[in-house]
Amino acid sequence: MISTKARYALRVMIDLAQHQEDAYIPLKDISARQEISEKYLETILRLLVKGKLVKGLRGKGGGYMLTRKPSDYSIGEIIELTEGPIACVSCRLPDAQSCPRKEDCITLPLWEKYDALVHDFFFQISLEALIEGSF
């Protein structure tokens, strides 16, 4: 399941995209609009800043701002940044140890195909498309 953190992150990105101007947008505003606690949003925005999806500025007049155009973000990267790599089974995670059954595992091709499907779905949709509803 997509975690709350990733879902909130998406809403934050949408919020920032929809209030894009020259000014930085303070966390307080996002929190008020999205009805998510400031404290929890902080942890999410820290991830987004660390991953360079948004930039933050401190002090008066500070806040957050997108680093790219909404059309240049994929939904997939936002999800992966906040909750780690998308993989349907543990043996397909990047850091998984090689499975001894790998060679004749009947289910492996199923998981591979599923992962590809999911990956394609999320990485082919842009933040802009999500907002426009054109996907």
- Rounded CA separation 30/36 (Å): 8
Residue 51 interacts with DNA (CB under 7 A)?
no
Residue 89's region, left for phi above 0, alpha for psi from -120 to 50, else beta, is beta
Task: List the one residue out of 75, 79, 83, 76 whose CA is nearest residue 132.
Answer: 75
| Shortest reach from residue 33's CB to DNA, in Å | 13
Contact 9, 48 (CB under 8 A): yes
Contact partner at residue 20 from DNA, its own copies, none, CB < 5 to 8 Å by partner kind: none
Judged by beta carbon, residue 15 or residue 25, the one nearer its own copies is: 15
| Shortest reach from residue 88's CB to its own copies, in Å | 5
Judged by beta carbon, residue 3 or residue 57, the one nearer its own copies is: 3
Residue 20 interacts with DNA (CB under 7 A)?
no
Contact 47, 80 (CB under 8 A): no
Judged by beta carbon, residue 63 or residue 126, the one nearer DNA is: 63
| H helix and E strand count, the chain | 6, 2
Where along the sequence are the contacts to DNA (CB under 7 A)? 3-5, 8, 25-28, 37, 39-40, 42-43, 45-46, 49-50, 56-64, 83
